[in-house]
Chain A
């Protein structure tokens, strides 16, 4: 599990270009009425792609020791579970109270 060589400058520039393009797409679809029905899932996927690109290439998790991925991925997964659980608990409670 030794640490490997990091990405090159060209890779960093390509990743930056991809990140900017994804951001433009995000903002673009926000203004297009046609996409309003699928806006939330599309935005979440695009955001996740941007998140993964920064973590893998700029934070070097793709090239670094896998133990670091465990140290970051474990709490990240736990945070996601907390977010989803709170939303389910809260909206479940609201639905029980209102009957809607």
Chain B
């Protein structure tokens, strides 16, 4: 890389254009999201293949709480809205709004995780463990993997928020916020599928 192109890259907030005219970090992240589709696709397929094959209870219709999970879904959808508002604010240089929406997104993520913790605790109390039956194994692995992704997302968002508080996040780093947003929205779309396949189609 030449000295001139290094300066051009710094001016774009670290962005590096490929010969295709797209940013290399964004391209790599979309490829990563593509690989995540295959990971969650295999977990959802496993859940569906073993659906209704449990020999002992508790069975899904006995313990799944639709009103509670609907609230969790609403929470995650609102977190996606907060994330795009955070990105829009950072892109226009309004860091006050940017910081606010980044924090709101992270807090909504934490609310979702709290809900998942409560749900898992309740299920264990009802007698559904990881090895109780096929439903328990496939349910905990699928929703637990999703929860782990939400946890990573919350840590990532809080890291960005702290950077913003220290004045190290501005419009020049909008691409970093956009990539964080891509990850967060992907976590949201995975939940959209899980909510339908696991909770509503019993």
Contacts and interface: CB of A to CB of B under 8 A. Distances in A.
A100 interface: no
Interface string A44-69: 10110011001101111000010110
B71 to A, nearest CB: 10
A71 B34 contact: yes
Contacts of B41: 78-80, 82-83
A23 B74 contact: yes
Nearest to B73: A23
B108 interface: no
A50 B40 CA distance: 17
B84 interface: yes
Interface string B144-180: 0000000000000000000000000000000000100
Interface residues of A, number: 45
Contact of A86 (B26, B49, B81, B88): B49
A71 to B, nearest CB: 4
Contacts of B85: 9, 12
Interface string B186-202: 10110011011100110
B131 to A, nearest CB: 21
B148 to A, nearest CB: 19
B44 interface: yes
- Across chains A and B, which 10 residue pairs bring their CB atoms closest together, nearest first? A79-B41, A75-B34, A47-B196, A71-B30, A16-B81, A83-B45, A86-B45, A75-B37, A79-B37, A90-B49
Interface string B38-49: 101110111011
Contacts of B104: none
